[in-house]
Structure formats: C-alpha cells, structure tokens
Structure 1
Amino acid sequence: MILIQQGETPVQVSRPTVSTSIVPSSKSGGSSALPKAAPSAAETPAASPQDQALLAAQTGKASPSLALEPEVHPGIEALKELKPKELAALGKQKDKTPFFKALLPAALESQRKYGIPAQLTLAQAALESGWGKHAIGGYNIFGIKGSGPAGSVVQSTREYTKTHIKAAFAKFHNFYEAVSEHGQLFHNGSYDKALAQYQKNGNLAGFVKNIAPVYATAPNYDRTLLGMIKHHDLDALVQEHSPVS
C-alpha cells in the first residue's frame, strides 16, 4: 500500500498482490509440475523384520524398532526339562560323555557370559554331585550355598571336618538355572583376582588352582578337578562344540 499526497489529504492506493511462486520452465529441462510432497509416515510402508535384520547385518546397526530374540540352543531347552533321575542315569554309564554333553550347552553359555571355562563347569558338576546322584534339592549339582530361584533347603554337611553342621543350600527349578548360578557365583567378589589372572593369561590349570581354596575345603580339590578334565578329555569336547569365532 502507498500513500500519495494530494493537497493536505493523503490518499491510500492499494497495490495488487503478486505471487512469488515460480514454476520451472519446461525449456530448462525441468518439469513444469510442482514437486510432490514427501509421503507421510502413515503412507510409507514399514520394512519387514527380514529387511530390518538384513539392514542391521549390512550396516552393523540394529534397528530400534526391531528386537530380535537370541536363538536358544535346543540343548538348553532339553536341559531345562531334564529330570534328576535322568542325569543320574547318564552318570552311571561307563562312558561319561552323555553326562557331560547334557550340561555342555549351558556350560558354553556360562563361558561366554561369565568367562568361566566350560571344562571347569563340567568337572565341578560331576565331582560335586557324584555324577548326578547327590544333587541337593534335586538340581543343585554344584553344592552352592545360600538361596536360589526356588528358595533354599537346609542340609547337613561335613566339609571335610569331623563335625557335622547344617547349612542352607540353594534350590533351583532345573539344571540350567544351576549352571547359570554357578557362573555368576565367580563374580561375587571372592574370585576377582583369579578371574583377572585367567582373563590375562588363559591358563586353565592356574585358574583351577586359584579358585580351589575358596570354593571347597577338600584337600587336593584342584588336582581332582584337573584330573577329571584330563581323564575325560574335556578340552577336546569343549573345543569341538564351541562356536567358531
């Protein structure tokens, strides 16, 4: 709007509005049509889980809208269903390989999660439970004291002394829980030095010797475990079934 002075009375003159929109000319090679707006989120088709998984594999980044459940080893599911009598029956066999193989998937998972060598887990399960015959509360094959997911049970123990004492031992719903608790047990603060040294040098024999005085009162506990590992060739069994890195 402009003001024009005519004498003493200002006169207002309206200027027509001019559009500032510019349409590209077809001569310049561009399209004469106006650009379309980007499709809304509702109009954009969602990527399938398979596509998102493929993208994550290619970029190394997981999609926030996709939560892939980790694949559960069938051996772990079987271990959750294994009954105490069934594990004890495996332990009675002359060939102890089936006993170890029943526990192996969970032992390998504990090795991956908690850094506890699977050979040690398998040997302690056999030694502490008498090949499955003396699983405390049905599933405690490691003699773990305290309370577990299924509570606790009070039992008499001699602990290589002449005096019998009563102690609370952890109870579990299945053998898988027992193996998992065994792995976590080594992170309660009592084994920090032994774990740190093992993570540094990978010396299994040294690790077993370092944890033995803390874990058990039995004399030569480390020698017994190392003897079982060697006699049953648990190193080869673990290596054979370990996932390729």
Structure 2
Amino acid sequence: MESGWGNFIPVDKYTGKNSHNLFGLKGQGPAGSVRSDTSEFQDGKLVTVETEFRAYHSWEESIEDHNSFLLSERYRPVREASGYSEAAKSLQSLGYATDPEYASKLIRIIEEYRLDQHDIQSPFPDVPAGHWAAPSVARLKTAGIITGYEDGRFNGDSPASRYEVAVIIDNLIRYLGN
C-alpha cells in the first residue's frame, strides 16, 4: 500500500533522482534523500505535503532497510502480535502510517488475497506465530532438532540446562549426518 503496489516510488521533485524507496520511509537513507509530495492525514484531513524520503542505491537496499526498520524496538509489539489483524492494528497505533484506515485496509488486502496462508504456524502454543523467533523455532522443530517440553510447550524464556543443550546439539549433529 505504501507505494501503490510499486507505482508511486518517491522521486525528487527538483532533480528527478529515483529514491528506490519501496515503502515510503521518511528521512535520510544510505543514498541520502529525495524531496517529494505525498498525501498525509493531518487532523483527520487528507492533505498534500512535501517531505523528505529515504533514498537507496537499489531495491534490495530498500527492502533490507525496511526489515531493519521493522526490527527496531519500537515495532516489537507488531512482531509479537498473535496474528495479522493484531499486527496491522499495532502498526497503525505505533504511527507507521497516517491513514486512520491503514489497519483495516491492510487486513482487507491480506484477507482478499488470502495472504495469511503463507504465515508460519508455530508448533508450540506458547510461541506466537508473529514472534521474531517463530520461524526458527518452527524449522528446528520440523527438523527434529528441538522437541519442546512434555506438556507441549516451548518455554522460550526458560533457561536451558546443560543436558537440554547436549540433546539439542546431538540432534543437530544427527540432522547434519555427522
């Protein structure tokens, strides 16, 4: 949504410099910035404002920076959300976008295109699918490297004993075939 499906990449209105900014992040980027007009909601009204957008050397750099941006402490509630709906609402409440309908629009797109079918499902009830470690936990469980506790939980905040670490390393060695 941020770039209108890639159709509205900020270009400097004075020099024509392409920002390679796929997500509309504002401020200074690795390749400086560009000045461009954008629509923002201010006091409940949609207005056009000139603003500074981050500029990148490549599309890949834009994606990497966006990932780093979302991995910042500010967006921890988004990563720890129990699902896409909660994550979208967290994005909006944390000021990711000025559109008061941002969360509902994002949820509608996810549901319309059934994008949630690509979500990683956690194999443990105490590891939310949106948790930053959920993909790694799921891969390790699928590979048989970790098993969790007898009650079916992962207990990610519990310290691991030396015995547990030994079993995990042994499972990893067997998985790698050594």
For the aligned pair, the TM-score class normalised by the smaller chain equals 0.5 to 0.7
For 2:39, give the aligned amino acid: R
* Cα contact 2:3–2:24 (8 A) shared by 1: yes
Instruction: Measure, in 2, the Cα distance between the counterparts of 1:176 and 1:234.
Output: 22
Evaluate the alpha carbon distance shift between residue 167 and residue 138 of structure 1 in structure 2; reply closer, same or farther with a 3 A threshold: closer
If the length of structure 1 is used for normalisation, what is the TM-score? 0.41
User: Could you tell me which residue of structure 2 aligns to residue 150 of structure 1?
Assistant: 31
For 2:75, give the aligned amino acid: Y
For 1:208, give the aligned amino acid: A
* Cα contact 2:19–2:34 (8 A) shared by 1: no
Deviation, structure 1 residue 154: 0.8
For 1:221, give the aligned amino acid: Y
Deviation, structure 1 residue 169: 0.2
Deviation, structure 1 residue 219: 1.9
RMSD: 2.5
Evaluate the alpha carbon distance shift between residue 188 and residue 238 of structure 1 in structure 2; reply closer, same or farther with a 3 A threshold: closer
SS of 1:191 mapped into structure 2: helix
User: Could you tell me which residue of structure 1 aligns to residue 3 of structure 2?
Assistant: 129
If the length of structure 2 is used for normalisation, what is the TM-score? 0.54
For 1:170, give the aligned amino acid: R
Alignment map for 1:18-57 (pairs within 5 Å): none
Instruction: Measure, in 1, the Cα distance between the counterparts of 2:75 and 2:87.
Output: 10
Instruction: Measure, in 2, the Cα distance between the counterparts of 1:163 and 1:219.
Output: 13
Deviation, structure 1 residue 144: 0.2
Deviation, structure 1 residue 224: 0.6
> Which structure has the larger Rg?
1
* Cα contact 2:19–2:33 (8 A) shared by 1: no
User: Could you tell me which residue of structure 2 aligns to residue 31 of structure 1?
Assistant: none
- Could you tell me which runs of 5 or more consecutive residues in structure 2 were left unpaired when the two chains were aligned: 11-17, 121-134, 140-178
Structure 1 ranges of 4+ moved more than 2 A:
160-165, 186-192, 201-204, 235-239
SS of 1:159 mapped into structure 2: strand
Give 1:211's match in structure 2, choosing from 91, 109, 114. 91
Deviation, structure 1 residue 187: 4.2
Evaluate the alpha carbon distance shift between residue 167 and residue 188 of structure 1 in structure 2; reply closer, same or farther with a 3 A threshold: farther
- Could you tell me which runs of 5 or more consecutive residues in structure 1 were left unpaired when the two chains were aligned: 1-126
User: Could you tell me which residue of structure 2 aligns to residue 179 of structure 1?
Assistant: 63
Evaluate the alpha carbon distance shift between residue 155 and residue 205 of structure 1 in structure 2; reply closer, same or farther with a 3 A threshold: same
Instruction: Measure, in 2, the Cα distance between the counterparts of 1:183 and 1:149.
Output: 14
User: Could you tell me which residue of structure 1 aligns to residue 52 of structure 2?
Assistant: 168
User: Could you tell me which residue of structure 2 aligns to residue 202 of structure 1?
Assistant: 82
Evaluate the alpha carbon distance shift between residue 218 and residue 162 of structure 1 in structure 2; reply closer, same or farther with a 3 A threshold: closer
Q: How many residues align?
A: 113
